């Protein structure tokens, strides 16, 4: 067995694990603190970087959510097990090198960290209002962009592949080799420079948006912030009950586990990312967007420092274009019973969602929030 922990944060850990002797087997990964198991996941997530690196079919990634917040430095171990109960492996954390970077670019005028562009990243789980905000920003006339992004998580994938390649060729980095002569950070800088150049060419005004409502995009937030120093992040959130109800209508072919698992993954990833952003991030709950749209639009416009003509156009577009407004559930809070969870589904649902619901102050009843009823907010 082999693998790495590639990220470790207060609420989650992730990486990959693989049994070369049984390439079609998906391993159980568990996290332990003070002798107690605090999280578990199956390493069966598809990842293109693993496939390209020859790690089976590539479906050996994992992400696990801790049952309680954990200081990463205090985590005792993350362990992977095969079908044999006696076979286990404690995964190492893949750490980035602290060596100074060696610039390999021929054109030093292309920066690897941009201070001229002003991107806005619209983040959050699917069916939480990301489309409404992104489309309104595009209609404001201030920003360029597309209805959907799904390209920029590639930046993190590329840096991960580079880390993986160098970490697994220790012997080849000894002696007189080109691999030893070219430091890993040379490639890391090239990746950043490439994305700066790409977005400058694609969005010449320097004001653009990206809406990619996936956990991979939230995972990429620290890197995005590193590359685009003026970036702003708008995170849309929604309680799991209403989110799953909306997903069921929009994506009826997906399983219940996929719906709430993706919701939990995105919100847990944001808990880890938002602390690094300071005043470069704003959170918006979809139910506030539905009930107090103009007030929320004004807050977003102020956050983005939008000049008055653009801010007015943004507010008007957001008021006129709510993709879910035809639904009877638009702006409504319901109860957990509305999901009609079976006796078999309920334990896993609660184990996955409870820590996230607690972290965001959500309730399972019509009050929506634990601290005070929705009507008073």
Q: How confident is the model at residue 374 (pLDDT cuts 50, 70, 90)?
A: low
- Per the model's pLDDT, the better-predicted residue between 151 and 14 turns out to be 151
CB neighbours of residue 94 within 10 Å: 19
pLDDT of amino acid 84: 57
pLDDT: is 48 or 345 the higher one?
345
Q: Which residue has the higher pLDDT, 338 or 326?
A: 338
Mean of pLDDT over the chain: 87
Any idea which fold 2-93 has? Immunoglobulin-like (2.60.40)
253 pLDDT above the threshold of 80: yes
pLDDT at 82: 58
* Confidence (pLDDT) at 67: 84
Evaluate whether 114 touches 229 at the Cβ level (below 8 Å). yes
Fold designation for 120-376: Rossmann fold (3.40.50)
Task: Name the residue with higher pLDDT: 93 or 140.
Answer: 140
Give φ, ψ of 54 to 5 degrees. 80, 20
Name the burial class of residue 101, with classes exposed (0-12), middle (13-18) and buried (19+) by CB atoms within 10 angstroms of its CB.
middle
Instruction: Work out the pLDDT band at 95, boundaries 50, 70, 90.
Output: low
Q: Please give the pLDDT value at position 86.
A: 61
C-alpha 71/C-alpha 69 separation (Å) is 7
Task: State the average pLDDT over residues 275-297.
Answer: 95
* pLDDT score recorded for residue 128: 95
Domain with CATH 2.60.40 in the chain: 2-93
pLDDT at 13: 85
Q: Where in the chain is the domain with CATH 3.40.50.300?
A: 120-376
Q: Cα-atom radius of gyration of the chain, to the nearest Å?
A: 22
Q: Is the pLDDT of residue 193 over 80?
A: yes
Confidence of residue 277 (pLDDT cuts 50, 70, 90): very high
């Amino acid at each position: 067995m082999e693998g790495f922990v590639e990220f470790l944060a207060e609420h989650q850990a992730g990486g990959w694990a693989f049994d070369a002797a049984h390439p079609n087997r998906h391993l159980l990964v568990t996290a332990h603190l003070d002798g107690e198991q605090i999280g578990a996941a199956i390493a069966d997530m598809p990842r293109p970087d693993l496939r390209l690196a020859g790690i089976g079919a590539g479906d050996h990634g994992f992400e696990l959510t801790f049952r309680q917040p954990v200081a990463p430095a205090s985590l005792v171990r993350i362990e992977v097990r095969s079908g044999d109960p006696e076979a286990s492996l404690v995964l190492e954390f893949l750490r980035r090198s602290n060596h100074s970077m060696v610039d390999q670019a021929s054109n030093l005028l292309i920066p690897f960290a941009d201070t001229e562009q002003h991107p806005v990243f619209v983040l959050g789980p699917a069916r939480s209002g990301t489309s409404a905000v992104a489309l309104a920003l595009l209609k404001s006339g201030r920003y360029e962009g597309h209805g959907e992004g799904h390209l920029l998580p590639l930046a993190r994938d590329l840096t991960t592949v580079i880390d993986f390649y160098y970490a697994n060729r220790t012997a080849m980095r000894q002696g007189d080799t080109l691999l030893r002569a070219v430091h890993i950070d040379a490639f890391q800088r090239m990746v950043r420079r490439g994305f700066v150049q790409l977005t400058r060419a694609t969005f010449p005004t320097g004001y653009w948006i990206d809406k990619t409502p996936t956990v991979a995009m939230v995972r990429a937030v620290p890197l995005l912030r590193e590359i685009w120093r003026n970036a702003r992040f708008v995170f849309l959130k929604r309680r799991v009950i209403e989110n799953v109800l909306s997903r069921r209508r929009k994506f009826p072919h997906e399983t219940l586990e996929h719906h709430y698992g993706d919701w939990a993954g995105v919100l847990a990833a944001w808990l880890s990312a938002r602390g690094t952003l300071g005043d470069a991030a704003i959170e918006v709950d979809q139910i506030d967007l539905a009930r107090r749209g103009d007030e929320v639009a004004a807050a977003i416009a102020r956050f983005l420092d939008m000049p008055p003509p653009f801010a007015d156009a943004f507010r008007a577009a957001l008021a006129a274009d709510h993709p879910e407004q035809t639904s009877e559930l638009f702006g409504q809070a319901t109860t957990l019973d509305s999901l009609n969870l079976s006796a078999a589904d309920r334990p896993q649902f609660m184990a996955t969602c409870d820590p996230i619901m607690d972290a965001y102050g959500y309730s399972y009843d019509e009050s929506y929030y634990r601290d005070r009823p929705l009507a008073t907010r």
